[in-house]
Structure 1
Amino acid sequence: MGSNIIKPQLLEVINELSLSDLMSRQLQTVYEGWSVKRLATFFIKHGIGGAPVIAADDELVGVVTQTDVVRFGSRTLDEKEVQKLTQFYCGPYGGELSEDDMRHMQERASENCTVHSIMTPEVVALDIVTPLAEVCTALAKRDIHRLFVTENGKLVGVVTARDILQRLLE
């Protein structure tokens, strides 16, 4: 019975709101060349769970989250990744790395590996005038928690599922 009273009110609010009503313009960005360690420190310092990734020319190139950092820290290198690291450190004609060298590289991976290596290159961004119903659909269909807001093709903000829920509860 209570849901029948709430439902029309909720639909009215959803139909009236757009991204500009919900988004945060205080957007924290990270550079793709940062180390994973620097990224983790950045997330803690700013109390955020994810951020858009930009290249040196300020082009939006991806998104990275705390989950990406955790996955990176808990994974083990497969054979292909070991070969890539060996080639990187020893050169195309270089030799083999010892087991101690490999262990040392893995221990220092968070300092040597970059945000680019763990980010998701697909960025979900919607225009600032997008209605809330479309925003909710995009979040649900793509199973994501945040999306970025653009205005005239320029990154201007971020909105999270939490932002939407908080606004609907008001």
Structure 2
Amino acid sequence: MSLPDDRLSDISALHVTDLMSTGVLTAYEGWSIKRLAAFFVRHQISGAPVVASDDSLVGVVTKADIIQFETKTPSDTEVRKMVQFYYGPNVQGFNSADIRRLKEKAIETCTVNSIMTPHIHSCDINTSAASACHLMVKEDVHRLFVTDNGRVVGVVTAMDFLRRMVAT
């Protein structure tokens, strides 16, 4: 089935807001990995953008990140990073026994921040659909998070573009 040329150029007049899905579920960087896993199962999703306490977009996390984390024991450095996330950079009083105890309960004590990917593919809410499509191709990604002043307001996917092109 071939599409008429006018359908292929149809996105040139659109913005990402015409294609995106709203109501994006987000994970918070301070959540435990155990809480994140339960969130994914409850909502039947495989990934989510990660936001800070001020709702600014700071990363993305997937089921693969959880699986990778669960298949390896976190290093002392990773555990110290988690402790510093909660208690600040100049943590005093955490000895080797404390670190060992935290490592044993890592799934409950380590945070999303320690496993997320901080590199985010996003575009502003005012981005044209064509520009978003070009960015997805350039970055070789299947989705872009749509932001308004740094806050996630939607997501646009390759499937959104395909649906638009084949719509009657």
Normalised TM-score (structure 2): 0.75
State the partner residue of 1:60.
57
Counting aligned pairs with the same residue, the percent is 46
Unpaired segments ≥5 residues, structure 1: none
Q: What's the counterpart of residue 82 of structure 1?
A: 76
Q: Is 2:119 the partner of 1:113?
A: no
Q: How far has the Cα of 1:52 moved from its partner?
A: 1.9
Q: SS at 2:9's partner residue?
A: helix
Contact in 2 for aligned 1:35/1:112 (Cα 8 Å)? yes
Q: How does 1:81-160 map to 2 (within 5 A)?
A: 81-82=75-76, 85=79, 96-97=96-97, 102=100, 106=103, 108-160=105-157
Corresponding residue for residue 28 of structure 1:
25
C-alpha offsets along residues 67-89 of structure 1, whole Å, 9 cap, x if unaligned?
22222222344xxx23554896x
Secondary structure of 2:59 counterpart: strand
* Structure 1 residues 168 and 107: CA distance shift in structure 2, 3 A: farther
The number of residue pairs the alignment matches comes to 159
Distance in structure 1 (CA, Å) of the matches to 2:124 and 2:104: 42
CA RMSD of aligned residues (A): 3.0
AA partner of residue 67 (structure 1):
A
8 Å CA contact retained: 2:59, 2:118: yes
Separation in 1, partners of 2:104, 2:162: 40
Alignment CA distance shift 1:108-1:162 (3 Å) = farther
* Structure 2 unaligned spans of 5+: 84-90
Shift of 1:163: 2.7
Q: Among residues 35, 43, 48, which one is paired with 2:45 in the alignment?
A: 48
1:86–1:96 contact (8 Å) kept in structure 2: no
TM-score, structure 1 normalization = 0.74
The code of the aligned residue for 1:54 comes to: V
Structure with the bigger percentage of helix: 1
Match of 1:38 among 35, 40, 43: 35
Shift of 1:137: 2.0
Q: Encode CA deviations 1:19-47: one digit per residue, 9 max, x unaligned.
A: 11111121212111101111111122122
